Structure 1
Amino acid sequence: MTRHKRKMTRGRVIAALTAALGLTGAAIATNVMLSPAGAAAVWPTPNGQQPVTKTIEVSGTRDGGLKRFYGTGDLGDGGQDEGQPPLFKLADGAVLKNVVIGSPAADGIHCSGSCTLRNVWWEDVGEDAATFKGTSSSATYKVYGGGAKKASDKVFQFNGAGKLVVSKFQVSDFGKLVRTCGNCSKQYKRTIIVHDVDVTAPGKSIVGINTNYGDTAALRDIRIHGDSSRKISTCDRFTGNNTGAEPTKTGSGPDGTYCRFTSADISYK
């Protein structure tokens, strides 16, 4: 019996985005700090600052009031070493909003399960900006608004299971915007939607996924700035593993199955 794969149309992707964020279409268009005509948002001026000496545990909702949080003591190394603790650790279902993460940023934010990051800004990404670690296939991670700069490697590290939705975000001077883990000891199928995002060179890739685990990435309304030579890869495909070995890259660009977008979804400014 032959099974026909059902491709995600633009309408289905937008509907999935709306449902995942729990917003109406109007809210998606207006509930974020944006300049007119979809231009990149103006970076906020922090409202004071707070040193973080120990990981802040968040359950429920925490509003940072746009204060700058930065690591100090054990969280103040400022290096790129793997295994650093985060500044914030979110419990399943937690919401973190209106936060500026300064430098040193340690390993940014860890989400233990479903989480929402709303209007969170990384001035100088540390090891990673955020790592998503939930183990349920129904876990949903929402990044809405905000931005990240100076990520020498990954901005969002997707180690867990479920769906990641990145909307109305901006990123510049980065390695990878989203990467599903290529060699974690426990692997999952992961779904990514990146929608209405401004990407500014230099950068290496927007999304990297593992096709052998069934990962998919849908890109919609992506604006790439300052990359006239088109060096920033849109969607890289890999064969991942659970042994810790370096994953093998197998392709790049839209393929209709794993990297779900067309050239019309990417514009160069």
Structure 2
Amino acid sequence: MKFSTSIALPLLASTCSAAVVKRQNGDGPQGSTDATQGDLGARPPPRFPFPILEFPIAKETVVFNETRYVQPGEVFDGQMKRYERVEGSCNEQAEGTDADAVFNLLPGSTIRNVIIGKHQSEGIHALGDAWVENVWWEDVCEDALTSKGLNTQLRVIGGGARNATDKIFQDNSLGGKYNITGFVADTFGTFYQSCGNCLNQAKRNATIQNVVAINGTRMGIISPNYGDEIRIKDAQVVDVKFMVDKEIGNNVQTVPYTVGTGPDEKYALYNLTRDRITTFNGTVLKQYVPANPYPWLGEFWPSLANKTA
């Protein structure tokens, strides 16, 4: 495992290998890693690079007649096929249900090496603790990935999404944690959003690290009145209007109102200098390079053809 960078920065020494996601009681202090980072010691290291700017080119499309459920303990490896629903259509005005998703992840499941095709009403719903690895959304409709359930620990490593007119990552969990590492977002409304008007509300936590975000409205929306926390670090952004907006959330399904934007000492826990949030200039500063890459990477990423042989 190594990074293609001239400066040795210890981002994924603990993020990319893990076994079981344990329940957590809190988060690290401002600027530190969140408390879930200590759980990642035994999981095999990823076999794909991230962040990678180039979106994969699918060679095969699989069309489901209904939502595919990934079972507890199952590892669904899509081998970079494109997955769609037969009746898939984009309706940006309606909030999709679990029945509208291409995949539903049951607690303890993993999905990896998947491309979600265009015009899907919903991409992936995580109904409990899950891993989402090297998953790509070609054209996001309502949401790319939605976290649900009680205290859901959801981890995203690698992958990317583009053309998310609304949001990429939606957190509807009750007291959950979202950890996003090595993701690429190109043209989006909101990168991560904690639900501001769900019927059941609780504190939610998000950690966003080593991502590339291009042409978006905002990186995050949180509800401080429920104690939400968001951490952003080692991020490269360009043409993103706001970093984090803060709203007064509610549980009566009315539109929440914004009360502020930017970092603070309790909820929006990031600092542009301390947490190395820089302007993206076209070059990934800290890319993870696998020691044992998948031999087929060059089939879907032409730029990797000579690096995985």
Shorter-normalised TM range: 0.7 to 0.9
1:267 corresponds to which residue? 278
Matched letter for residue 135 of structure 1: L
Report SS of the residue matched to 1:87: strand
Deviation at 1:235, TM superposition (A): 1.0
Instruction: Tell me how far 1:175 sits from its aligned partner.
Output: 0.4
* 1:130 maps to 2:145: yes
In structure 1, what residue type is equivalent to 2:279? Y
User: Aligned residue pairs: how many?
Assistant: 246
Higher relative contact order (CA 8 A, sep 6+): 2
Higher helix share: 1
Off by >6 Å, runs of 4+ in structure 1: none
Q: Is the 8 A contact 1:33 1:41 kept in 2?
A: no
Aligned equivalent of 1:8: 29
Partner of 1:3: none
Shift of 1:263: 1.5
CA-atom RMSD in angstroms:
2.1
Q: What is the identity, as a one-letter code, of the residue corresponding to 2:243?
A: T
**Residue 155 (structure 1) shift:** 0.6
Q: Which residue of 2 aligns with 1:250?
A: 259
Q: Is the aligned partner of 1:240 residue 2:237?
A: no
Cα distance in 2 between the residues matched to 1:23 and 1:150: 35
Give the structure 2 partner of residue 63 of structure 1.
77
Alignment of 1:24-173 (within 5 A): 27=45, 31-34=47-50, 40-59=52-71, 60-73=74-87, 76-80=88-92, 81-84=94-97, 85-136=100-151, 139-160=152-173, 161-173=175-187
**Residue of structure 2 aligned with 1:210, choices 196, 219, 223:** 223
Q: Percent identity?
A: 33
Runs of 5+ consecutive residues of structure 1 not aligned to the other structure: 1-5
Letter in 2 for 1:100: I
Does 1:224 pair with 2:237?
A: yes
The answer to whether the 8 Å contact 1:168/1:197 transfers is yes
2:211 counterpart SS class: strand
d(CA) in 1 for partners of 2:205, 2:105: 20
Q: Counterparts of 1:83 and 1:106 in 2: how far apart (Å)?
A: 7
Q: CA 1:237/1:179 → structure 2, altered by over 3 Å: closer, same or farther?
A: same
Cα distance in 1 for residues equivalent to 2:37 and 2:229: 18
Change (3 A) 1:233 1:77: same
Q: Unmatched 5+ residue regions in structure 2?
A: 1-26, 281-309
Structure 1 residue 232: deviation in Å?
Answer: 2.1
Deviation at 1:9, TM superposition (A): 4.3
Report the secondary structure of 1:175's partner residue. Answer: strand
For residue 83 of structure 1, report the CA deviation from its aligned partner.
Answer: 2.6
Contact 1:86 1:109 in 2 (8 A): yes
Name the residue aligned to 1:193.
207
